[in-house]
């Protein structure tokens, strides 16, 4: 394979890795730590993307417009958690039905208020040219850097801070955590707000690269669920490993046969993962760790 084809594959991998990690992080936190299957995750991303685009067209510089998108989605998530979601903890199937309904309502409200499309923001930073090829600097470098920074930030937050200890204690044993003085209700609200903010961040970062339509969240939801199935519920361990594996699968097969073939092989990978690794990569690593402990 020539050097230019290798570079093209590398940029495609960074693009796919960033997309999968950013689309999955918020969903993995809300599912893995709270047991809520949020079928409205794509519409949380929609809120972030629309708030960013509207703020930009109102005159804000793009970085500030992105901050506005994250803030708007966080507030949206907090309002939903306080009014609806907090009634669904421990009710897995009910959470799926209710969040699917929320998804439909948000899509239709968006269409009624803003129409079928919004004027798009131009993609910044131009492209990188190499031989006969070129690739978007924003998608391959900027978004990949943001994805890695997000993973590092989540690792520090949930493993190196007092908030992370309290949040994990709440998820593992709510009654014991409450008896130890942890405000579990506040922990659930904070964790859901973080998941919402990450979805808003995804929408804000991708607003300059996608067509603004009420159905844009659907394009993120499939990859996000595939990544959660393959990686398992742990956002610290499962999301980056699933992002790396699925990003490589998508990059290789998209280069060979186009976007449709890449998506087909992503879904095939998810089917194989469900069959071979029912608890995802995270479950496999936990099993191996347990075996090593017993062997010692």
Q: Is 215 helix (H, G, I), strand (E, B) or coil?
A: coil
Mean pLDDT across 55-67: 94
- The pLDDT of residue 1 is 57
Q: Which CATH number fits the domain that encloses residue 168?
A: 1.10.3470
pLDDT tens-digit map of 110-127: 999 999 888 888 888 888
pLDDT tens-digit map of 145-188: 999 999 999 889 988 888 888 887 887 777 888 888 888 888 88
- pTM of model > 0.85: yes
Contact 208, 62 (CB under 8 A): yes
- The pLDDT of residue 122 is 86
109: number of Cβ within 10 Å: 12
Tokens matching residue 58: 């109102």
15: containing domain: 1-295
Q: Is 37 helix (H, G, I), strand (E, B) or coil?
A: coil
pLDDT tens-digit map of 1-11: 578 888 888 88
What is the DSSP annotation of 109-128?
HHHHHH-S--PPPPPTT-EE
Burial of 147 (0-12, 13-18, 19+ CB in 10 A): buried
Nearest to 34 by CA among 101, 98, 81, 100: 81
pLDDT tens-digit map of 236-257: 777 788 888 888 888 888 888 8
Structurally, the chain folds into a number of domains equal to: 1
- Please report which confidence band the pLDDT of residue 100 belongs to, taking 50, 70 and 90 as the band edges: very high
Average pLDDT along the chain: 87
Cα–Cα distance between 118 and 172 in angstroms, integer? Answer: 43
Dihedral sign computed on CA atoms, order 257, 263, 267, 272: positive
Q: Give 207-211 contacts, CB < 8 A, sequence gap 24+.
A: 207/48, 207/49, 207/52, 207/53, 207/56, 207/65, 207/66, 207/69, 207/121, 208/62, 208/120, 208/121, 208/122, 208/123, 208/124, 208/138, 209/123, 209/136, 209/138, 209/139, 210/49, 210/120, 211/117, 211/120
Whether pLDDT at 199 is above 80: yes
Nearest to 39 by CA among 85, 83, 103: 103
Place of tokens 């879904």: 267
H or E stretch at 134: strand 133-136
């Amino acid at each position: 394979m020539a050097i230019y084809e290798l570079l093209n594959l590398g940029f495609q991998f960074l693009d796919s890795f960033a997309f999968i990690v950013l689309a999955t992080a918020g969903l993995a936190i809300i599912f893995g730590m709270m047991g809520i299957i949020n079928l409205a995750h794509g519409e949380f991303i929609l809120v972030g993307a629309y708030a960013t685009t509207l703020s930009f067209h109102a005159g804000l510089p793009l970085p500030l417009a992105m901050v506005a998108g994250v803030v708007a989605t966080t507030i949206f998530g907090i309002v939903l958690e306080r009014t609806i979601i907090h009634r669904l903890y421990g009710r897995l199937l009910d959470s799926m039905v209710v969040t699917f309904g929320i998804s439909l309502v948000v899509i239709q409200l968006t269409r009624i208020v803003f129409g079928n499309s919004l004027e798009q923001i131009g993609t910044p930073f131009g492209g990188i040219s190499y031989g006969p090829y070129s690739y978007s600097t924003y998608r391959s470098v900027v978004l990949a850097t943001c994805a890695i920074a997000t993973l590092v930030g989540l690792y520090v937050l949930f493993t190196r801070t007092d908030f992370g200890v309290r949040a994990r204690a709440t998820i593992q044993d709510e009654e014991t955590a409450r008896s130890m003085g942890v405000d579990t209700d506040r922990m659930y609200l904070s964790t859901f707000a973080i998941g919402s903010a990450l979805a808003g961040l995804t929408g804000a970062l991708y607003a300059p690269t996608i067509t603004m339509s009420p159905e844009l969240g659907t394009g993120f939801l499939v990859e996000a669920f595939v990544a959660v199935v393959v990686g398992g519920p742990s956002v610290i361990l499962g999301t980056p490993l699933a992002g790396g594996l699925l990003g490589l699968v998508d990059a290789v097969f998209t280069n060979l046969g186009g976007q449709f073939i890449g998506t087909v092989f992503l879904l095939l990978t998810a089917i194989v993962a469900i069959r071979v690794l029912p608890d995802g990569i995270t479950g496999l690593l936990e099993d191996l760790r347990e075996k090593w402990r017993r062997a010692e």
